[in-house]
Chain A
Amino acid sequence: NAGVTQTPKFQVLKTGQSMTLQCAQDMNHNSMYWYRQDPGMGLRLIYYSASEGTTDKGEVPNGYNVSRLNKREFSLRLESAAPSQTSVYFCASSELHGANVLTFGAGSRLTVL
């Protein structure tokens, strides 16, 4: 049982480049989330998908887009990367949006030069 799988684990980009972070869960969870983690700032919600077919902005959505491809997969796209997007990104899922018990992936460390 893999849980939540994120790819890639590490990525270095130049300013202006684009990339997509992939996330997949095998727990049949309905809700999925993307967080970023920065030193001294904890975990901040970027976007979430309460259920398949819906997506909503979180606390820090600017510069990102998301796609809920199907029930298992939720991707995060940076169209034009900026140094301020250097961070560790975590995907998470929960059985229901109101349940709040999150299962996190191992994280993706992104550096934008």
Chain B
Amino acid sequence: GENVEQHPSTLSVQEGDSAVIKCTYSDSASNYFPWYKQELGKGPQLIIDIRSNVGEKKDQRIAVTLNKTAKHFSLHITETQPEDSAVYFCAASIRGRTGGGNKLTFGTGTQLKVEL
């Protein structure tokens, strides 16, 4: 099955700096890569996703890049703010496959702390 590795496990940045979280996946058939943000005491919430036919996607201060050849994808947050402090999860799946083959496999999470 799919295996997703995520690094680093903790990341501390100064407010205004950029933060980068990296993930690798094992199944070359995976074609959908979402990122979820989990604030303290809450459930994860989708913040951005990318499909394998796209190399980069941006949404304001957040961007995700995908390298299919190397099987890795990254989350980039620019101009970090205190409200960006949270746990971030990457995930991978095979979108469009029926049955059990399209379940999301999550990374182990990154605790991001934005310091004032």
Contacts and interface: CB of A to CB of B under 8 A. Distances in A.
Q: Chain A, interface size: which category?
A: 20 to 34
A70 interface: no
A42 B103 contact: no
Contact of A58 (B9, B49, B99, B103): B103
Interface residues of B, number: 28
Contacts of A82: none
A9 to B, nearest CB: 9
A106 B95 contact: no
A43 B42 CA distance: 14
A4 B43 contact: yes
27 contacts: A4-B43, A42-B107, A45-B103, A45-B104, A48-B103, A56-B100, A58-B103, A59-B1, A90-B43, A90-B44, A92-B43, A97-B98, A97-B102, A98-B95, A98-B96, A98-B97, A99-B95, A100-B104, A101-B49, A102-B36, A102-B44, A102-B104, A104-B36, A104-B44, A104-B45, A107-B41, A107-B42
Given A43-B44, A98-B97, 13 more contacts: A40-B9, A45-B103, A45-B104, A48-B103, A56-B100, A97-B102, A99-B95, A100-B32, A100-B102, A101-B34, A105-B43, A106-B42, A107-B41
Interface of B: 1, 6, 9, 32, 34, 36, 41-46, 49, 89, 93, 95-100, 102-104, 106-109
